[in-house]
Amino acid sequence: MAENYTDPSGNTEAFRAFNQTPEATGPADAPSRLPLIVGAVVVVLLVAVVAWLAMS
Distance spanning both ends of the chain, measured CA to CA = 92
In degrees and rounded to multiples of 5, residue 50 shows phi and psi of -65, -40
Q: Which run of H or E residues covers position 12?
A: helix 8-19
Q: What is the pLDDT of residue 24?
A: 46
| Positive/negative CA dihedral, 49, 50, 55, 56 | positive
Q: What is the pLDDT of residue 15?
A: 74
Tell me, letter by letter, the H, E, C secondary structure of 14-33.
HHHHHHCCHHHHCCCCCCCC
Q: No. of H helices and E strands in the chain?
A: 2, 0
Model confidence, pTM = 0.47
Taking only the tens place, the pLDDT of each residue in 17-37 is 767 766 545 556 778 899 999
Confidence of residue 46 (pLDDT cuts 50, 70, 90): very high
